Amino acid sequence: MVGEILKITLPSLVVFFTAVYTLRAMIKKERDNRRIDIVLQNQKMITPLRLQAYERIMLFLERISPNSVIMRLQTPEMTVKQLQKEMLVIIRTEFEHNLSQQLYLSIDAWEEVKIAKEKTIKIINTLVDELKPDDSAMKLSQLIFEELIEMEQTPSQKAINILKEEVRLLF
């Protein structure tokens, strides 16, 4: 009697557990496929946004480079103090305008962007200390250009190179 029940029950249990195992495997595979589809769809949407962020940050770095700022701002009647103030306002305003782009950059890239901004400000402020506030802005411009020429890479250029390398890694 027990033998007869086992003959019927045992194959049924084997079939049942095989079906449960197979269904679980199918459900897991389907769930994994859905996750992959979602990730791919997100990448299709995010990749263009990331590229745009890298472009905007590169533009920001170009716009805050001292030679670029000087060329846009300087007028013949400006004093050292006026040029310094205007340069710092532009650099900080540009930075604040691009703060949201950090969302799409790596932590290291964003840190390098912040370092470039701070080093640029430091260059300006350090060189201003060598001059009188009422001196012609031309003197400050000349000192800044000389300082940049002596550098192996400007802070902006170093950050741009890092950003370019990261963009290359995206593809």
The residue that leads in pLDDT, 169 or 107, is 107
23 has a pLDDT exceeding 90: yes
Model confidence pTM above 0.85: no
Question: Residue 3's pLDDT band (boundaries 50, 70, 90)?
Answer: confident
Output the average pLDDT for the chain.
92
What CA–CA distance (Å, rounded) separates 10 from 144?
Answer: 88
> What is residue 78's three-state secondary structure?
coil
Read off the pLDDT of residues 25-37 as tens digits, 9 standing for 90 and up. Answer: 999 999 998 998 8
Q: What percent of the chain has pLDDT over 70?
A: 99
Q: Which of 34, 156, 134, 62 is nearest to 71 (CA)?
A: 62
**Over the stretch 70-92, which tens digit does the pLDDT of each residue have?**
999 989 899 999 999 999 999 99
The residues spanned by each domain of the chain are 47-170
pLDDT of residue 123 exceeding 80: yes
Q: Say whether pLDDT at 145 is over 80.
A: yes
Q: With contact defined as beta carbons under 8 Å apart, do 98 and 57 qualify? A: yes
- 69: CB partners within 8 A, 6+ apart: 63, 87, 90, 91
- Over residues 48-70, the mean pLDDT reads 94
CA 11 to chain centre: 60
Q: What is the pLDDT of residues 160-171, one digit of tens each?
A: 999 999 999 877
CA distance 102 to 107: 8
DSSP 101: G
What does the pLDDT average to over 7-20? 87
